[in-house]
Structure 1
Amino acid sequence: MGSSSATEPSPPPESGPPAPAPPDRGSVPLRRHRPLLLLVIEQLTSSVGPQVTALALPLLAIAHLNAGPLGASTLMAMTYLPGVVLSPLIGVAVDRTRLRRLLVTTTWVQVPVIGSVTFAAASDGLTWPHLLAAAAVSGTLNSTQSVALQSCLPRVVPSEQLLPANTSLAGARTIGLIGGPALGGILIGIIDPAPALLVECAAYVIGGGLFLALPMALNRSVNDADANPKSRIDALREGLAVIRRETLLRRQALAAAGLNLGGGAGSGLFILYADRELGLPNWQLGAVYAAYAVGMGTGVLVATAATRALGMARAIQVCALGAGAALFLIPAASLGLAFPVLVLYELLFGLMATVWSIAMVTGRQLITPPHLLGRVNSFLQAVLTATLPVGAFAGGWLASRVGIVPVLIGAAAVALAGASSLWFPRDLLADVERAAEKS
Structure 2
Amino acid sequence: MGPAPAGARPVPLRRQRAFVLLCGEQIAGSVGRQVTALAVALLAVTGLHAGPFAAAAVLALTYLPGALLSPFAGVLVDRVRLRRLLVAVTAAQALVVGSVPLAAAVGGVGRTQLYGVAVLSGALTFTLSVALQAALPRVVGPERLLAANSALTGARTTGQIGGPALGGVLVGLLGPAPALLAGAAAYAVEALLLLALPGALNDPPVRRSRESPAALLRAGLTVVRAEPRLRLMVLAGAGLNLGSGAAGALFVYYATRDLGLPAWQLGTSYAVHSAATMAGVLLAGRLAGATGLWSATRICALPAGGAVFLVPAASLGPAFPLLLAYQLCYGLAVTVWAISMTTLQQLATPAAMQGRVAGFVQAALLGTVPVGALAGGALAAELGNVPVLLGSAAVALLAATALWAPGVSRPAAGAPRTPGSGPSAPR
Aligned 8 A contact 2:347 2:416 in 1: no
Q: 1:230 to 1:30 in 2, by over 3 A?
A: same
Cα offset for 1:395? 3.6
Task: Note if 1:381 corresponds to 2:362.
Answer: yes
2:294 counterpart residue number:
313
Q: 2:425 aligns to what?
A: none
Report the Cα distance in structure 1 between the residues aligned to 2:78 and 2:331, rounded to whole angstroms.
32
Residue identity opposite 1:110 in structure 2:
Q
With 175-184 and 353-362 compared, the bigger mean Cα shift is at 175-184
1:119: which partner in 2? 102
Equivalent residue for 2:78, pick from 90, 95, 115: 95
* Structure 2 counterparts to residues 164-313 of structure 1, below 5 A: 164-191=147-174, 193-224=176-207, 226=209, 229-268=210-249, 291-313=272-294
Going from structure 1 to structure 2, the CA distance change for 1:85 and 1:285 (only over 3 Å counts) comes to: closer
Provide closer, same or farther for how the CA distance between residues 100 and 400 of structure 1 changes in structure 2, counting only shifts above 3 A: closer
Which of 117, 120, 130 does residue 134 from structure 1 map onto? 117
Q: Please give the per-residue CA displacement for 1:52-96, whole angstroms capped at 9, x wherever unaligned.
A: 2224345556788x4533655444433322232222211110111
| Aligned 1:274-423 pairs, distance under 5 A | 291-330=272-311, 343-398=324-379, 407-423=388-404
CA shift at 1:193, angstroms? Answer: 4.2
- Measure, in 2, the Cα distance between the counterparts of 1:288 and 1:135: 22
SS in 2 for 1:434: coil
Q: How much has 1:199 moved relative to structure 2?
A: 2.1
C-alpha separation in 2, matches of 1:148 and 1:39:
12
After superposition, the CA RMSD in angstroms is: 3.4
Counterpart position of 1:33: 16
Unaligned runs of 5+ in 2: 423-427
Larger Rg: 1
* Alpha-carbon distance in structure 2 between the residues aligned to 1:297 and 1:401: 38
Shift of 1:244: 1.6
The Cα shift of 1:138 comes to 2.4
Do the aligned partners of residues 286 and 210 (structure 1) sit closer, same or farther apart at CA in structure 2, a change above 3 Å counting? closer
The correspondence for 1:68, drawn from 36, 40, 50, is 50
Match of 1:222, as an amino acid? Answer: P
Query: Could you say which residue in structure 2 is the equivalent of 1:79?
Result: 62
Q: Out of 408-417 and 334-343, give the one that drifted further.
A: 334-343
Measured after TM superposition, the shift of residue 327 of structure 1 is 3.4
2:87 aligns to what? 104
Amino acid at match of 1:161: R
Classify 1:276/1:182 alpha carbon distance in 2 versus 1 (closer, same or farther; 3 Å): closer
Are 1:425 and 2:406 matched, yes or no?
Answer: yes
Listed one character per residue, the Cα deviations across residues 154-194 of structure 1 (whole Å, up to 9, x for unaligned) are 11012221111111111122222221121122223333544
For residues 390-421 of structure 1, what are the alpha-carbon distances to aligned partners after superposition, in whole Å with 9 as ceiling and x for unaligned? 22333444456667666545433322332222
Is the CA contact (8 Å cut-off) linking 1:312 and 1:433 kept in structure 2?
Answer: no
Q: Distance in 1 between matches of 2:376 and 2:60?
A: 16
Could you say which residue in structure 1 is the equivalent of 2:2?
A: 22
Q: For 1:400 and 1:67, how far apart are their aligned partners in 2?
A: 14
Give aligned pairs, total.
415
Letter aligned with residue 53 of structure 1: T
Give deviations 1:186-231, integer Å, cap 9, x for gaps. 22333354443332332222212211221222111134253xx111
Does structure 2 retain, via aligned residues, the 8 Å contact 1:167–1:300?
A: yes
- Fraction of identical pairs, as percent: 51
1:308 CA drift (Å): 0.9
- For normalisation by structure 1, the TM-score amounts to 0.82
Deviation at 1:252, TM superposition (A): 1.6
C-alpha separation in 2, matches of 1:429 and 1:325:
26
- Give me the whole-angstrom Cα distance separating, in 2, the residues matched to 1:381 and 1:333: 31
Q: Give yes or no for the alignment of 1:51 onto 2:34.
A: yes
Unaligned runs of 5+ in 1: 1-20
